[in-house]
Amino acid sequence: MVASRSSRTATSADRSTRRYGDDLAHVHDAGFGALARGAAPGLLRLLRGNGIRDGLVVDLACGSGIWARALVEAGYDVLGIDLSPAMIRLARRQAPGAAFRVGSLHRAPLPRCAAATCLGEGIGYLFDRGRGRDPLRALFTRVHAALAPGGLFIFDLIEPAAGGVSAAIRGWREGEGWAVLYESEEDARGRLLTRRITTFRRAGRSYRRVDEIHRLRLLPRGVVLRALRAAGFRARAVHRYGSHRLAPRRVGFIARKP
């Protein structure tokens, strides 16, 4: 693999604020869509089992629109919101029957809806910071206000490692015209996960390299459940969406507005 001479590796300032640029958005859609695809059947059954058979679903941190497409095909109206313009461009191509908006899940206006979702740890990302002393509670309160009675809020997060153990993980993956290298480092005391991600994407006869750094809060399920209940939800934690089991230390939350 030869990196393009014309490509630009992000500076340290760029990397800390880059939010799924064009190349990482492409790689994520091509190689990391297993959660949205695998969870979709179970999530649709969950919606219908709670009497939500139509209406608007707000998909926060919607990514490239994989879950939005499944919702549209099942007969729901969809509004997808994501901070990454590159992800929104992909989503509009993938789910043309849905509406999409570039925006923060913490600040974008939320219309009245039957359900809201946030799949894939989106609430934990620190480049989309909430305001106030308790941004988690503020987000849950906003979602609760937007939901119709009986509405569902479904999302997942990463928990801190058991025993407060810090760890580092390295790996790589490749696909047609792309490769990605990643390193995850966990600060257990600070409940912070840092991901350093390098993508290589084919650009003509060479490959373009782009670096990003993502930081995520690690949130214990007890903290999340208390915040949900304080916002007015009845909530429970799960380890699977239907038959799709979440990855280790990923916890899903099913919150219902009475």
Sequence-ordered alpha helix ranges (H) in 18-84: 22-31, 34-49, 66-73
The number of residues in the chain equals: 258
The predicted structure's pLDDT at residue 167: 73
- At the fourth CATH level, the homologous superfamily of domain 33-159+219-256 is Vaccinia Virus protein VP39 (3.40.50.150)
This prediction's pTM = 0.91
| Residue 245, beta-bridge partner list | 240
Find tokens 């509004």 and name the residue. Answer: 79
Question: 233: which residues sit within 8 A by CB, 6+ positions away?
Answer: 140, 144, 153, 255, 256, 257
Helix (H), strand (E) counts: the chain: 7, 13
- Going by pLDDT thresholds of 50, 70 and 90, the confidence category of residue 137 is very high
CATH class of 12-18+166-217: mainly beta
The predicted structure's pLDDT at residue 9: 43
Q: To which H or E segment does residue 195 belong?
A: strand 192-203
pLDDT higher than 70, residue 153 = yes
CA angle at 171 for the pair 193 and 36, rounded to the nearest 5°: 70
Query: Average pLDDT, whole number, for the chain?
Result: 91
In the chain, where the domains are located: 12-18+166-217, 33-159+219-256
Q: What is the pLDDT of residues 92-117, one digit of tens each?
A: 999 999 999 999 999 999 999 999 99
